[in-house]
Structure 1
Amino acid sequence: MTKQEAMSKMCEKAAMQPFRTHEYRNIGKEEDKQKFIHTLTAQGRFSDLGDSPDDAVQALQRLAFLSEDYHWKLGIDWPEGLKSIVLSAAKYYCKIEADREDMGASRFHQSIFRFPVASLNLFFMLYPDMERGEAKPKQYPLEAGARREILRVAYQTFSLPVRNDETDKNPVSVERFQKHVWWIGGNALTYRPVLYTALAFKSIDMMQVIAQVAACSICAVSQAVIEDAFWQEGICADGFGWGHGKQAYNSGYPTDGLNEALNILSYIVGTPFEDVLEYADFSKLISYIRGITWSAYGSFSAPMQTRNIFLRDKSKKKTMDELAVHMAEYLANYFSAYLTEEERREVDMLLERKLSLEMTCRDGLYKGVRYFWNNDDLIKKNKGFYFYVNMASSRCDGVEFADIMADKRNYYTADGSYTVLVSGKEYEDVMGTWQVAHLPGVTERFIPNSELLTETNWHGYRSKFNFAAGVSIGENGLCGFIYEKDEIREPDGAGVIRKEFTVEMCGIQAYKSYFIIEDTIYCLGAGICDIHPEHGREVHTTVNNTLLCNDTEPVEKDGYVFIENDKILYGIRKQENSKICITKEKRKTAWEDLNYMNEGEKEEEYPVFEIIVDHGENPQNASYEYFMCINHKKYENVMVLENSKRLQAVSKNDFSVVEGVFFDSEKTLKMKDIEITVSQPCALLLQQEEDGYRIAVCDAEQKPELKEVIVTVIREGHDKQEVVIKMPDGLFRGKQGEGFYSYSKKRNEL
């Protein structure tokens, strides 16, 4: 088979069914099709539309929508004269778009997504007519004219928007699909229908380029190699994904881009284009399949990884398990030969069981505790409960939001916010009642939604500090970070800086950490300061803001306030200069106020359970300490060793598990008969084994020059031991390293 023969076969395959139909089907309902037909004049114009680009794209979407009923493979005859009118209309409205002179940033969504998707669907629905127009243009001038204008619009998927760099001279190049947010991830291969453009043109050069881009996209990126990585979005070395910059975006840009990459590569299997598969690293895709399953619990996706956190209608969204299974199906059906035997078994098991929690792989792959070091996320997931905390650092972008099309006020999701779930349904409805400054886990100046400006910010908000770290061993793990919202405004992909925002959100600083010891989650915070007291307002730490499941009363004991809800026992330590506020009441949702696409959503009341630690106005060096325990008695086995802005640490009462965040490496962690110091700011976990402690360490600042962390252990009656733990380098810089402290000094490193 020659490459040209392969192009023809692939083109026929693509012509069998429409693609990305949601892009044009939302133009109307089924009963609107006849109305659209009646408004089409004999000259191929919609009588109720003009000739503006906005009207032209609507016209092409209508044409694609009504033409579905007469797709060539259905064998249904067109009503007399209608096909000729549709071809005339396609030619006319495509020419309006293709003749536009502006080639800059404004030619984005419409020109490379909506116009080409509608036009190319028309091309393939009318595929035999397009073939006739190509083969015999003089005999079929209408078909040839429509084909010519459709292809002009389709070519925009390669040519627009102009980048003002060398790739503008040769848009059909691999380099075109690199180094720009508009040309990588889902923007590159999925929403921009380049595969269907290449097939419509039957262009070997186009197909060679997009096949290589698709193969090269199946690789990994991290902070350490971002300048040299093929894509600056996509699969992260830690197993999560980046999209629209360095933000966790597992359910959007990276997953959409990878799914289309796999679709493109499935077309070339068994063809002369297949040699590009050598560029694909399918082991990284396996890592990503595992990773994305951690970002959700059943049907509930943790609300820290999309600009549509507050989108009410999620009925058409796939769960993360479904997305993982979908990618696994591609691997099993097309790329099994590129997997190891162990990877094939894992893929088969996932396809058989469909649910990640049913997987029987070793802990840390689909359940247990994991820290995602490229995304500042710590997660515990098992059949009993789910905990996902999203921190912030200067290394990662925050979660984006867009009042012009998505969430209007999603400002605090990268500030140490978390979800803690038992049933998986706790936040589904009550999220609509949230004041966004009261997301679970955050410490913020309280500003009600009504006083927060809506805005669009494609980078979200990050912390000013290059400090975030986490480690895990089995069912235990911890993380910590230094929080202060960075108010610097950055240009978006079009170079626009959006300057309007609520500056009062900024100016709160806190040292925050989260510790998981079996079924107990301990949350510590210290050094809470209002850097800009002129902004006023009280500063709150939100313990939880969830569905009220049972009406229990708080109990005070041993300096704590205890209360139970939804099988979780909360214990909040009473502190000077702060108040513990527990609210149980019905609250009404405000979905329309939270997300642009929620217009018309029904607003209802739900019972809400909320716990707030109120630090008052202008706190200086305030703190908090609380726990959430799934197995109610387990909390008694955990104690706080220190809670300061230099060190935050907890342990089991018998010191079999010790966890600490060293914000200051000069600080000493003191236990019963042991003192521990570290050579670098880090997260540290010690877990007792038969003859000593297994140690996990993560460099909090991910310094390129750091090769090792030295953990020094001074045990009463024993010689001082220095455990030298090598830090992973290159792609895996930031990942935890491990060592061993031996009571008998027989081993000191894993």
Structure 2
Amino acid sequence: MNGTEKGVYQGTRWFFNNDDLMKHTPDYHLMINMASVRCDGLESAAFADNYNFYPTDGMTLFQRHGNEYFQIMEGWDVTASPGVTAREGMERLTPVTNWRGYCSRHNFAAGAADGADYAAGGYIFEKMHGADKENVNDKGDRKVKNELLYGFKAYKGYFVLGDYLVALGAGVTNNCPDMEGHIRTTLDQTARVAPVYLWKKGKKTDVAEGSMLLDARKMKDTWVIQEGQFAYQGLPEYQANLYVASESCPAHWAKMNARNKKKSGLPEKVSVLRLWTDHGQSPKNDTYGYTVYLGKDEPARKLPFEVLRNDTLIQAVRSTDKKVVEAVFYPEAPVLKAKGLTLEVSAPCALVLRETDTECYVSVTDARMDATLKEITLVWNGQKIVVPMPQGISCGKSVTVCVKK
């Protein structure tokens, strides 16, 4: 992390023992909470924090003031938690006591961060109850099944390039297509605190209260912007629809946390802005792609990146000046090829490769926290780069090396 002044930090960081990727600047805070079989999820109880089902499912939080979510969470549809791919149907969830929380079945989660403006991360998500892991003696409440939580899979990648987040999804598959409820990926569900409008090349169109469906394939270069907050755009190559809802929602304070029954003066309704893509009832190897601009000024007229690949083997983006490549290599990944680029890795990982005129900075993270893995070798445009992997208690930490071109 880079210090701007004593005690104040900014930049990107991978919290390898929690599966968390973050970026902080004086203007915003970005947090991506991934999941793996290595980490437990957030605790929940039938008497408090009743609906902690989704915080480690790729929840992606965008905050400029710090209270964007806190002030509306009692009006949330938790199955539409920000950044999460989930089956709709909050009304069919029953609160349970679960001290282990929820995680993914897969030993795969990684975030490579250069400590400054760039980061890449991804994980294989297939939800499981944390108490179902091996050698766990605290089973919690297993009488309530909440089956809608399970039975689907997704490969979820995240790429930070300056003030842009690119989120990619691949292999989105519902293995229980007969179960009620569509599979959705939510871009954001945040407080509506300012006017919302569509913006394309300087032209604004107000978004009124209610819901609207945008055909992402016909909305190229169109942003959904909440004034003074953040801007969102679907990538039409990877998703067909983008739903936007600006609505006033009932606030269920006691339902979300029984201890709120003792509180008075709580608002009865909250104003919510929600954006999502709908994968339908029975997606099979579906994809999604969107970008969020976190800066305070207007987004660039042209996206400053290109998506190189988005599937279950590799998810990768590159800056338009071709100086930065970010990628997640899943198991059995082939060589990443694009115009002027070939990149191969010796083990599953996340990486950021940033060029200057004379040097190349490479940040790499082992996606499986393999204690026996001593190094990861990259072959970049024919140049071999060996990156030592941290050992002991630092296993899984992101490493940055500098090599001469």
What TM-score range do you get, normalising by the shorter chain?
0.7 to 0.9
Q: Which residue of 2 aligns with 1:660?
A: 327
1:424, CA displacement in angstroms? 2.0
1:386 aligned onto 2:23: no
Q: Distance in 1 between matches of 2:390 and 2:353?
A: 19
Q: Are the structure 2 counterparts of residues 576 and 706 from structure 1 closer, same or farther at C-alpha, using a change threshold of 3 Å?
A: closer
Q: Distance in 2 between matches of 1:463 and 1:610?
A: 25
Q: Which residue of 2 aligns with 1:4?
A: none
Q: Distance in 1 between matches of 2:342 and 2:136?
A: 49
Matches within 5 A, 1:391-470: 391-404=34-47, 406-448=48-90, 450-470=91-111
Amino acid at match of 1:512: K
Q: Cα deviation per residue 1:181-231 (whole Å; 9 max; x = unaligned)? A: xxxxxxxxxxxxxxxxxxxxxxxxxxxxxxxxxxxxxxxxxxxxxxxxxxx
Amino acid at match of 2:223: F
Q: Cα deviation per residue 1:450-478 (whole Å; 9 max; x = unaligned)? A: 21011000000010000000011112112
DSSP 3-state at the match of 1:415: coil
Kept in 1, the 8 Å contact 2:101–2:129? The answer is no
Q: Distance in 2 between matches of 1:613 and 1:459?
A: 30
The counterpart of 1:553, out of the listed 173, 177, 197, is 197
Scaled by the length of structure 2, what TM-score is found?
Answer: 0.87
Amino acid at match of 2:172: I
DSSP 3-state at the match of 1:456: coil
1:494, CA displacement in angstroms? 6.4
Q: Which residue of 2 aligns with 1:536?
A: 180
1:617, CA displacement in angstroms? 0.5
Q: Which residue of 1 aligns with 2:275?
A: 611
Q: Count residues in correspondence.
A: 379
Q: Distance in 2 between matches of 1:444 and 1:452?
A: 13
Q: Which residue of 1 aligns with 2:252?
A: 590
Q: Distance in 2 between matches of 1:741 and 1:357?
A: 24
> Which range is displaced more, 657-666 or 454-463?
657-666
Kept in 1, the 8 Å contact 2:54–2:78? The answer is yes
DSSP 3-state at the match of 1:462: strand
Q: Distance in 2 between matches of 1:408 and 1:558?
A: 38
Amino acid at match of 1:629: Y
Matches within 5 A, 1:25-174: none
1:734, CA displacement in angstroms? 0.5
DSSP 3-state at the match of 1:633: coil
Q: Cα deviation per residue 1:681-730 (whole Å; 9 max; x = unaligned)? A: 1001011233131101101011121111000012xxxxx22111110011
Kept in 2, the 8 Å contact 1:723–1:739? The answer is no
State the structure with more CA Rg: 1
1:671, CA displacement in angstroms? 3.4
1:371, CA displacement in angstroms? 0.4
Q: Distance in 1 between matches of 2:176 and 2:62?
A: 31
1:492, CA displacement in angstroms? 7.5
Q: Distance in 2 between matches of 1:357 and 1:710?
A: 31
The structure whose residues are more often strand, as a share, is: 2
The percent identity for this pair of structures is 32
Q: Are the structure 2 counterparts of residues 466 and 519 from structure 1 closer, same or farther at C-alpha, using a change threshold of 3 Å?
A: same
1:441, CA displacement in angstroms? 0.3
CA RMSD of aligned residues (A): 2.3
The counterpart of 1:692, out of the listed 339, 350, 359, is 359
Amino acid at match of 2:244: I
Q: Distance in 2 between matches of 1:381 and 1:375?
A: 17
Q: Distance in 2 between matches of 1:571 and 1:487?
A: 33
- Consecutive unaligned residues of structure 2, counting only runs of 5 or more, are 201-217
Q: Which residue of 1 aligns with 2:388?
A: 726
Q: Cα deviation per residue 1:167-194 (whole Å; 9 max; x = unaligned)? A: xxxxxxxxxxxxxxxxxxxxxxxxxxxx
Q: Which residue of 2 aligns with 1:516?
A: 160
Q: Distance in 1 between matches of 2:350 and 2:46?
A: 37
Q: Cα deviation per residue 1:404-443 (whole Å; 9 max; x = unaligned)? A: 3x21121011000021011223112111110111110000
1:510, CA displacement in angstroms? 0.3
* Misfit runs of 4+, over 4 Å: 490-497, 555-558, 575-578
The counterpart of 1:633, out of the listed 296, 299, 304, is 299
1:564 aligned onto 2:221: no
DSSP 3-state at the match of 1:597: helix
The structure whose residues are more often helix, as a share, is: 1
Q: Are the structure 2 counterparts of residues 568 and 726 from structure 1 closer, same or farther at C-alpha, using a change threshold of 3 Å?
A: same
Matches within 5 A, 1:300-319: none
DSSP 3-state at the match of 1:585: strand
DSSP 3-state at the match of 1:598: helix
Q: Which residue of 1 aligns with 2:211?
A: none
Q: Distance in 1 between matches of 2:354 and 2:143?
A: 48
Q: Are the structure 2 counterparts of residues 515 and 494 from structure 1 closer, same or farther at C-alpha, using a change threshold of 3 Å?
A: closer
